Copies of this chain bind each other. A is one copy, B any other.
Amino acid sequence: MTHALRPPVGAIILTGFMGTGKSAVAELLSRRWGLETVDTDAMIKEQVGASIAEIFATRGEQHFRDLETDILTQLAEQRGLIISTGGGMLLREHNVELLRQMGPIICLHASAETIMERTAASSERPLLNKPDPQTEIQQLLAERDAAYQQADYHIATDELSVEQAAEAVAEAMRADPRGCLLAPEPVEIPVELGDDSYTIHIGKGLLEAVGEIAAPDQRGQRAALITDDNLVELYGSVVAESLERVGWDVALFAVPSGEGSKTLATAGQLCDQLAEAGFDRSSVVFAVGGGMVGDLAGFVAAVFMRGLEFVQVPTTLLAQVDASVGGKVAVDLPRAKNLVGAFHQPRAVIIDTNTLETLPERQLCSGLAEVIKHAAIADEAMFGYLEENLERLEKRDPVCLKYVLARNCQIKAEVVAADPHEQGQRAVLNFGHTIGHALERAAPQWQLSHGEAIAVGMVAESEVAVEKELSEPDVVERLRRLITQAGLQPDLAGIDPQQAGTAMSADKKLRGGRLRLPVVPRIGQVVLTDQIQLTDLREALVRLLE
């Protein structure tokens, strides 16, 4: 998937002349993909209580098109459908508009001869009860050609079996920036980093497929699966089994859960355990867990014997949309977080949307702040989607999760690919982080999640940008509304303004010279500016806390 993913749709629409295979393909696909199938003709028949031929005969074509419009309006809010339409559906402009909003339109085509052959047995086709049906069909095909051309995809089915036609549709949908989200297959996001390129796989149930995805048939190759003690049973063993199924020789290492394990000492212990167990430079590290596990295991992979390959299997929203993309691995020192680390790109990232089903609310919210940040700096359409579908996300709707995860990874992957070692443009990812980090450091422990701090930071920094006329006022309003909706409204009482100001001045990003601050001029865009001074941000921070 190299095009920008677009908000997920409710349906995949199959249209085309009668006899091109719409209904058969729709049914086969619906069975394979586990989606409901809907036939607009059948719905009309049922709702009106008359056959299509009768409706045409007694009420005329215009009335039939009205009925089709009604049906589409009824279907508009539904999700996860495969719709097959009547052959004349695209003849009415308004119906085309309604369909476009519902999803990608695939038109199946066939020659008049094929259609004659396929429909010979049917008496239910009103337009064919004519003296010379083949000429009639040819004429109708010619008349409707312009209408059919409005579809997004075209597939000629003359030479195809139903199975082949269904596969052709599936293939088109897997590559479609909206349709792929309904397909059961994982979405694959490439991260383009030359020799270090890799793919992010996002889908339902992928924990069980880690072995297949990471590398099938690795008979005897050694895998070090690093996780935390909370996740060993839940995820660790699932991934281990999946690896063993394709021949990996797996050893499982669990560290105590929590940021307290992200130290040089733990990294050293893990390296020692790997050495004791006889791991060598041909072994592969699998990191299964949240950000802590990914950072720690990634660091171990970066330095053990000067570097092993590793695979990230992030299991929290924050790790999935942020830490797992970009190759930044690290451990903390008592003085500050992430002070010792490396840039070490994974061989693959595998994200199972199922892991989010059990993720506690507050952890989901914390990840949402980074999701909102990515939308704000890079994708107005995703921002709009979040405004309308946050509830769906909070309910862990699989298609919605797949879209949000995939689009976020895609945005971050693009930024990272342009600046893998964080020497310039990658700074746009720090939107909200200057004030956010200062709050995080100054707050009493546990009072603020990372996401809450960043959320407050995005709004506060954007307020300063609006004052300086660098952002539209709309940016602050929409951000504030969305983070409120996302439950990212922390209690800031008890954070000392003075201490927060000091923390900000100590920020390593701000040392030695000009501040290059990311600001969002309008939702979906970002620029780095030197028009905002550290003192402006300090004032904003103090205002926020007083």
Contact = CB atoms under 8 A, between A and B. Distances in A.
A330 B335 CA distance: 23
A264 interface: yes
Given A268-B333, A272-B335, A306-B328, A280 B512 contact: yes
A35 interface: no
B280 A340 contact: no
Interface string A65-94: 000000000000000000000000000000
Interface stretch (A297-305, A314-322, A516-524): A297-305
B305 A342 contact: no
A333 B271 contact: yes
Interface string A272-307: 100110101110000000000000000000111111
A328 B343 CA distance: 16
Nearest to A282: B512
- Interface centre among A278, A305, A306, by most B CB within 10 Å? A306
B343 A305 contact: no
A334 interface: yes
A59 interface: no
Contacts of A271: 333, 339-340
A508 interface: yes
A275 B339 contact: yes
A306 B306 CA distance: 14
Tell me if A's interface is mostly helix, strand, loop or mixed: mixed
Nearest to A306: B341
A267 interface: yes
A31 interface: no
Nearest to A222: B512
A304 B335 contact: no
A3 interface: no
Contacts of A339: 271-272, 275, 304-305
Interface in A326-364: 328, 330, 333-336, 339-343
Contacts of A421: 307
A130 interface: no
Contacts of A334: 272
Contacts of A268: 264, 333, 340
Contact of A343 (B282, B307, B333, B340): B307
A422 to B, nearest CB: 8
Contacts of A341: 303, 305-306
A421 B267 CA distance: 22
A543 interface: no
Interface in A252-267: 264-265, 267
Given A303-B303, A328-B306, A335 B511 contact: no
A276 B343 contact: no
A340 B304 contact: yes
18 contacts: A264-B267, A268-B333, A271-B340, A272-B335, A272-B339, A275-B335, A275-B336, A280-B512, A282-B512, A303-B303, A304-B340, A305-B339, A305-B341, A305-B508, A306-B328, A306-B341, A306-B343, A307-B343
Given A264-B265, A268-B333, A307-B343, 8 more contacts: A272-B339, A278-B511, A303-B303, A303-B340, A303-B341, A305-B508, A306-B343, A342-B342
Sorted nearest first, the 7 A-B pairs with minimum C-beta distance are A264-B268, A306-B341, A303-B340, A275-B335, A271-B340, A272-B333, A280-B511
